[in-house]
Chain A
Amino acid sequence: MALYSEKVMDHFRNPRNVGVIEDADGVGEVGNAKCGDIMKMYLKIDDDIITDVKFETFGCGSAIASSSMATELIKGKPVDEALQLTNKAVAEALDGLPDYKMHCSVLAEEAIKNALDDYHSKQASKKE
């Protein structure tokens, strides 16, 4: 059996939603270069719906695939729903990850939560 599922390799080779949103409504960055994984998520949100999402990742194959899959899972979804996204859901959507790579899916979940937190705090400061 190969290290990664076909789905992981597909998202690694052809990552969806790669890039940057310059005027993003929420940006989240997690991980650090010391550990070898950094994910950055950019969200565009209109009426509490995630209308666009982009990512940049420094990391291994499963980190890139997890980021890509996570963006697919939240694109077009309401913010509340995106907040419910778990790392398990990301890993399952990829047809599983090796045990020692599960932390990549955790990073993807955290990156999204981080970006949504950023969005919420920006919203809050706008209201003030």
Chain B
Amino acid sequence: MPVTKLKETTALIYADNAATTKISEEALNTYIKISKEEFGNPSSLYTVGQTAKEVLEQAREDVAEIINAEPREIIFTSGGSEADNQAIISAAKIGEKNGKKHIVSTAFEHHAVLHTLKKLESEGFEVTLLDVHENGIVSPEEVEKAIGNNTCLVTIMFANNEIGTIQPIKQIGAICREHNVLFHTDAVQAIGHLPIDVKEYNIDMMSASGHKFHGPKGTGFLYVKKGIKIANLIEGGAQEKGKRAGTENVPGIAAMAVALKAANGGIKEHTDSLKAKRDRLIEGLYEIPHSILNGDAERRLPGNVNFCFEGIEGESLLLLLDDKGVAASSGSACTSGSLDPSHVLLAIGRVHDVAHGSLRLSIEDDITDEDVEYIIRSVKEVVEYLRGFSPVWRDLASGKKQFIL
């Protein structure tokens, strides 16, 4: 009865790149080299300090160039969450000064955004969370309608971390510019995977995280358009123009810049074949009865697949896929330690019963067509096996209850 335990080869198919990516050889080598050779403190006056400073500033230039920003508009942070916190809190402080205490966002932002907004709400801010509709895409018209005279910030993610849907950032940016409202975007899932031009898109602030594009963990940055007054989260020394205290993570930052260059440079080369693999996965998984793709089929990250399967629970699915050598993730409550399934799936209208049975595959172009077929076969086997002793499935299959999907 139990499903076959291990795949024939012991090789791991890593399909959870939205959670984190493996550091690239190039980034790792940079990290090691800089750690050894440029160990100085960039704030020190002697040569070994100043050469470390040069490495730091070169990384800043490289990162800035990729997003069409100026080096002085980049603040290095510990990652995406810190960047999100700093951007939103800064905009709130500016707003408060001008008597504007309303923020527009969406219901399916990352918790780094949602929890920061919750905190601001408790401090008297009003927050509008826009609907993301069943396709997982915000409507620019609704953004415009939500903006009022007291709005100080619009914060909308570039691409969703669970369902991969890409938001109409350019249009939202234009609307914010027209209404003279600050626009922040959490681009953690997008940068390195989609081309981003902060000027063309009218982005005022943007968050990024190094480990989502094969850089090291604990690295990230916040782009802040010049002229916007940023508030400090960490007080101390004068690093990062006094906006982020603490000795700079020089090797991490240098490695992140190397990784971003490579990722951004590879977008053109990989996107088409990655999309083909993604679409084959979607096609293959749709052969499973009573299943549904979450999020728009076209306007989604080239490597993101997210499905719900009725009658099963996601954690069991993940554990059995792991036994077969496939690493994936789920929005099931059981995988998060909370009672509710993913807020993203609930936001696109999936009911609890269905949202518990979700699977996210986030692939990169290193997986082969054989891997894709292996994943499809494995998911089919595991879903069928779990449905085989699911009382929920029994009730659905026997007609005692109505299928939702």
Listed in ascending order, the chain A residues whose CB lies under 8 Å from chain B are 9, 12-15, 18-20, 29, 33-40, 55-64, 100-101
Judge whether A34 and B352 touch: CB under 8 Å.
yes
Instruction: Give which listed residue, A35, A39, A61, contacts B339 with CB less than 8 A.
Output: A35
> Which has the most chain B C-beta neighbours within 10 Å: A12, A19, A59?
A59
Judge whether B334 and A36 touch: CB under 8 Å.
yes
> Which has the most chain B C-beta neighbours within 10 Å: A33, A55, A56, A59?
A33
Listed in ascending order, the chain B residues whose CB lies under 8 Å from chain A are 1-2, 5, 311-316, 319-320, 323, 332-335, 337, 339, 341, 352-353, 356, 389-394
Judge whether A60 and B391 touch: CB under 8 Å.
no
Docked CA distance A37–B313 (Å): 8
Judge whether B316 and A12 touch: CB under 8 Å.
yes
Q: Which 6 A-B pairs have the closest CB atoms?
A: A60-B334, A60-B315, A33-B353, A40-B391, A36-B356, A34-B352
Judge whether B390 and A36 touch: CB under 8 Å.
no
Docked CA distance A46–B164 (Å): 55
Q: Can you identify 14 A-B contacts, CB atoms within 8 angstroms? A: A13-B323, A29-B391, A36-B332, A36-B339, A37-B334, A56-B394, A57-B389, A59-B334, A60-B314, A60-B315, A60-B316, A60-B335, A61-B315, A101-B334
Judge whether B312 and A58 touch: CB under 8 Å.
yes
Docked CA distance A123–B356 (Å): 37
Instruction: Give which listed residue, B312, B314, B339, B389, contacts A15 with CB less than 8 A.
Output: B389
Docked CA distance A15–B3 (Å): 11
Instruction: Give which listed residue, A13, A34, A38, A55, contacts B2 with CB less than 8 A.
Output: A13
A11 nearest CB across to chain B (Å): 11
Docked CA distance A75–B306 (Å): 40
Judge whether B333 and A57 touch: CB under 8 Å.
no
Collect the chain A residues with CB atoms within 8 Å of residue B320's CB. Answer: 13
* Total A-B residue contacts, Cβ distance less than 8 Å: 76
> Which has the most chain B C-beta neighbours within 10 Å: A20, A40, A55?
A40
Judge whether B5 and A56 touch: CB under 8 Å.
no
Main secondary structure of the interface of A (DSSP, over half): mixed
Judge whether B2 and A36 touch: CB under 8 Å.
no
CB nearest neighbor in B for A104: B334
Docked CA distance A39–B341 (Å): 19
A64 nearest CB across to chain B (Å): 6
Judge whether A35 and B333 touch: CB under 8 Å.
yes
Collect the chain A residues with CB atoms within 8 Å of residue B352's CB. Answer: 33-36
Judge whether B393 and A58 touch: CB under 8 Å.
yes
Judge whether A59 and B313 touch: CB under 8 Å.
yes
Docked CA distance A35–B337 (Å): 12
> Which has the most chain B C-beta neighbours within 10 Å: A13, A15, A40, A58?
A58
Docked CA distance A100–B315 (Å): 14
Judge whether B316 and A34 touch: CB under 8 Å.
no
Q: A12-B316, A58-B313 are in contact. Are A38 and B391 (CB under 8 A)?
A: yes
Collect the chain B residues with CB atoms within 8 Å of residue A34's CB. Answer: 352-353
Docked CA distance A18–B394 (Å): 13
Collect the chain B residues with CB atoms within 8 Å of residue A64's CB. Answer: 316
> Which has the most chain B C-beta neighbours within 10 Å: A36, A39, A40?
A36
CB nearest neighbor in A for B332: A36
Judge whether B389 and A18 touch: CB under 8 Å.
yes
Collect the chain B residues with CB atoms within 8 Å of residue A15's CB. Answer: 1-2, 389
Docked CA distance A72–B75 (Å): 58
CB nearest neighbor in B for A56: B391
Q: A13-B5, A18-B1, A60-B332 are in contact. Are A33 and B389 (CB under 8 A)?
A: no
Collect the chain B residues with CB atoms within 8 Å of residue A19's CB. Answer: 389
> Which has the most chain A C-beta neighbours within 10 Å: B1, B332, B352, B356?
B356
Judge whether A36 and B389 touch: CB under 8 Å.
no
Collect the chain B residues with CB atoms within 8 Å of residue A33's CB. Answer: 352-353, 356, 392
Collect the chain B residues with CB atoms within 8 Å of residue A59's CB. Answer: 313, 316, 334
Docked CA distance A36–B342 (Å): 12
Judge whether B332 and A58 touch: CB under 8 Å.
no
Q: A57-B389, A59-B334 are in contact. Are A14 and B316 (CB under 8 A)?
A: no
Instruction: Give which listed residue, B315, B323, B391, contacts A57 with CB less than 8 A.
Output: B391
Docked CA distance A12–B313 (Å): 13
A95 nearest CB across to chain B (Å): 17
Docked CA distance A56–B397 (Å): 14
Docked CA distance A12–B394 (Å): 20
